[in-house]
Homo-oligomer: A and B are copies of this chain.
Amino acid sequence: MLVRIDPGSDVPIFDQVAGSIRADMVAGHIRPGDKLAPARELAASLQVNLHTVLRAYQLLREEGLVDMRRGRGAVATPAAATLGELRSEIVELSRKARALGMPPDALAALVRDSLRLDAD
């Protein structure tokens, strides 16, 4: 599990960490049953505080993507696999948006709002 963050980004670190892990689930690099890196260990490797990583992990848990228990660590759930079903759509959308020169944050906000609305 390789997590990358950009300290200079305006996106919160905990959000970047969660996003990086979600991307690995979509790509199939993280599959159900796989253990995530221990929070303390990941925090050290990213040179970030333990709580920042834990917040990312808890965000993923709220989304049903990981199971967490003290002593056992964080483990990817079956829901992590269903994420892969979105892969082709996301790739296609990204491709078109890139061709239009659309900034990532703008497209993300667009998708977020679309999903938030009751009907499309």
Contacts and interface: CB of A to CB of B under 8 A. Distances in A.
Interface of A is mostly: helix
Contacts of A106: 18, 22, 63
Stoichiometry (number of copies) = 2
A19 interface: yes
Contacts of A64: 101
Interface stretch (A32-40, A44-52, A69-77, A79-87): A79-87
A87 to B, nearest CB: 9
Interface residues of A, number: 44
Nearest to A98: B115
A23 B120 CA distance: 11
Nearest to A105: B112
Nearest to A9: B116
A97 B105 contact: no
Contact of A89 (B93, B103, B108, B115): B93
Contacts of A104: 111-113, 115-116
16 contacts: A20-B113, A22-B113, A23-B113, A26-B110, A63-B103, A83-B100, A85-B96, A86-B96, A90-B93, A94-B120, A97-B115, A98-B115, A107-B115, A108-B108, A108-B111, A111-B111
